[in-house]
Amino acid sequence: MKLIVGSDHAGYELKTRLIKELSLAGEAVEDYGTSTEESCDYPDIGLKVAERVAKDQKALGILICGTGIGMSITANKVPGIRAALAYNTYSAQYAREHNDANILVLPGRVFGKEMSLAMIRAWLGTRFAGERHQRRIDKISDIEKKYIQPAKEKA
Ligand code: RB5
């Protein structure tokens, strides 16, 4: 499983520390930026990570901004993405078990490295439970289909 990781400037420091730990632990991590603490716009990074994860069944994403809210809103605009903002290990675990979240969003200005790693491990270490939860996810997909505009064909 590949981990596609991205942040804005508010999540940059935490992202850097998490990538180091996750790589040391043997995870295959791809860093989608940002690459400095200079101010940038979270939708730019959130979109790139979400598009990458939506295209690849073998990829999961981790997104970090200051609150986690902007990245959550952004990523959830991409069809096929279920981005969950984690606020403790319980929410991280159930984001996978019940919601099959393919992106975990972390707030860069709320928790430190250890708590963030604990949430990532809780999410990665849990399997989707399926059954009634699959039915609910199918309903979310139906909502996406209802509102997606068909892409205009290129002339
Ligand atoms: C950046 O200052 C901040 O607005 C951003 O990181 C995030 O918290 C937005 O939701």
Q: Which domain holds residue 95?
A: 2-154
- Edge-first strand order for the sheet with 28-31 is 28-31, 2-7, 59-65, 103-107, 83-85
Question: Is the beta carbon of 64 within 6 A of some atom in ligand 1?
Answer: no
Give the pLDDT score at 149: 76
Give the pLDDT score at 148: 85
pTM of the predicted protein model: 0.95
| Mean of pLDDT values over 40-53 | 98
Specify the number of domains making up the chain. 1
Secondary element (H or E) of residue 131? none
How many Å lie between the centroid of ligand 1 and the Cα of residue 155? 38
Whole-number Å distance between alpha carbons of 78 and 118:
27
Q: What are phi and psi of 103, to 5 degrees?
A: -135, 130
Question: Is the beta carbon of 123 within 6 A of some atom in ligand 1?
Answer: no
CATH classification at residue 30:
3.40.1400.10
| Rounded-to-10 torsion of CA 39, 49, 83, 152 | 110
Contacts of residue 139, Cβ cutoff 8 Å, sequence gap at least 6: none
**Ligand 1, residues 45, 65, 85, 105: which to mutate, most atoms within 8 A of Cβ?**
65
| Mean of pLDDT values over 63-71 | 98
Report whether pLDDT(152) > 70.
no
Report whether pLDDT(153) > 70.
no
How many distinct helices (H) and strands (E) make up the chain? 6, 5
Tens of pLDDT along 8-38? Answer: 999 999 999 999 999 999 999 999 999 999 9
For the chain, what is the mean pLDDT?
Answer: 96
Which residue has the least CA distance to atom 5 on ligand 1?
Answer: 66
